[in-house]
Amino acid sequence: MQPFMSTAYITRKERFNSAHRLFRPEFSDEQNLKVFGKCSNPNWHGHNYTLHVTVKGEVSPETGFVADLKDLSHVINEKVIIKLDHRNINLEVDFMKGKLASTENLAISIWNELEEAVEKLGAKLHSIRVEETENNQAEYFGK
């Protein structure tokens, strides 16, 4: 339908609401408070996280798509959102077990959950961006 074959990037935004706590289990509450501040509260706190998944690939002349954003949304929900939303990141999320529940580690771990699944859609994962608050965010582009 169209002669050109071009590489483009598409981004899907999803959301999850979770509890978390920043702490090291070998530290006392006082030590954790000193290193992580109020984010180490032993009774947890939480956030409305926003997740931006960007994938890159050739625009298909059949569909005009890099990948179908409905399929990408489905994959993100199946692999990531369903495990994080209305959950405790420290206690209940398999892919965060044994890791500090920082925004950086969330971005890296979500990358690892999605990398292969995105390839099955015929595209390549480009970046994972996680907004914890309107002022704080982390982004990961792979190793």
Q: Is 41 a binder of a second copy (CB under 8 A)?
A: yes
Distance CA 17, CA 52 (A): 15
Three-state secondary structure call for residue 20: strand
First to last CA, the chain: 37
- Give the Cβ contact number of residue 99 at 10 Å: 14
Q: Is 103 a binder of a second copy (CB under 8 A)?
A: yes
The closest of 89, 85, 80, 81 to 21, measured between CA atoms, is 89
Active site residues: 39, 86, 132
Closer by beta carbon to a second copy, 14 or else 117 = 14
Q: Is 83 a binder of a second copy (CB under 8 A)?
A: no
Q: Which residues bind a second copy (CB under 8 A)?
A: 1-2, 4, 6-15, 17-20, 22, 24, 35-39, 41, 43-48, 54, 59, 62-66, 69-70, 73, 85-88, 91-92, 98-105, 107-108, 133-141, 143
